[in-house]
Structure 1
């Protein structure tokens, strides 16, 4: 009932009816003006009826013929659009006419070429993205190796060298000056403890960034338990399950916690760490504090690699990063990240 052919037939029949009706009215007016013309009302009616039938038949024929051609051309266009929707962008529609339907066909052919070019561009972008991802991963791995090697050389290696020199000196003066040897042994014990903290911090960096199928809460709790077993740090932790969070945000927050705990192990000389992770008022709140020696933020000028990394990771997921520290009063880090909406 919605076919374009039916619309054509209805239009031509309506035109035939209106034309014959106007002709009939004209005949009636003629009979009224010229009553002696010899034509009767019955004759004009039958004359009108015959003319209507003839015009309706002619209109029906030409409507079928015209609609057949137009319907066929529109059917070709519909079939071509369905072909494009299935992803066959190499197909083209053939047309020789330059009317409106022909112009539509030409535009569809150009659209097909454009879509084909876009597919090729997407494929090239995918290949380039894969190559860039490999390059970035390789560069990040190399940078991390260089940083770990630098940290080992700058800190741990020097501490081990100092331990070696002081232990040799202690052995030489052990019989001659026991008091001096005892002080040197105390220094050796202190340096060994610092070297152990540095190694634990470096090992913490070597942990995988991914949570390996665990939730953020489970990963942080597991990390805290490991540090409790391997260090003398006392933890006061409150870690809630976060529902409205993306996988990327989970990984970044987990890495921020790793970096913060690593800095505490290496620099803070702390005995107690407080960690709070909670979701409130559509925001994810992360708080990490220690009772260590602290530092002057203005003097340090945020030069620490770990602090910069934490700030960058926080900004990458749309969060805000605040750090407070004071000499001999510890360091506190507060991070607030927007949570995902329920529909997201």
Structure 2
């Protein structure tokens, strides 16, 4: 019986009840035999009533605060777990009120953390296997780009070369016609330059090959901002190591997010920051563009669906916060389940 009471946490409440019942009688007995030995029955009843009332209020307040603090701790732990911090644990003590609930929460959080850790590792392996299986697709894409280069930029350059070759004769024969050809050359060269930038942008995912995410972003991000007339700031605050799968997905997410900034935001500056905590990795991309209202965007547009899919593959999440005239903020979170366990191992 005693063991059952200890495990259920009821013994603590029973002890409080016993103390709150015995203490007033003890105080009244001490007053009757020491301070007021000649007190009448009416006086003792009045003093006893006051003592019982004060003791009851005092113990009730103390027990209430004690219980509320434990409920608050449980609520906070549930809130942290809902936000992805499954490493949180509550103190377990026998005879502790809510101790059984604490123990069940710890067991549930531990099971979820272990399962999500396994799922995350499996998804990381899947991402890497998927990337490896895409080599053939990459080769096909390079062939397509080669055809595009031949059909667009190469032909533009040939036309520019032919026009430039005719300029010396035109300058002597017809200066006005030569001026028109010069304007055509400027237009064609500008168009060829834009086409070349577009084709180069499609090759950017290769920037990560053989480099860490930090090195790739330091190389790619400023160059991409400069090519698109943006003032870019990169803030790298990651202290720990990042798995290869996470680096791969984050780089693709950053590229998708930056492409959206260029296409939709009409921004002049953009800030990219990456930081890690004990429980995960966070990427923030903030621009000073025109922003938008949530009801103006079709579900799945603005690249959010693609970024969410990439984040969800590793147990994370992606969200966009924006308002008209206030720019747009993209936040990607990738949890690191079982980080403490791996560090200890």
Task: Report the TM-score range of the alignment, normalised by the length of the smaller protein.
Answer: 0.3 to 0.5
What TM-score do the two structures reach when normalised by structure 1?
A: 0.42
Larger Rg: 1
Higher RCO (C-alpha 8 Å, min separation 6):
2
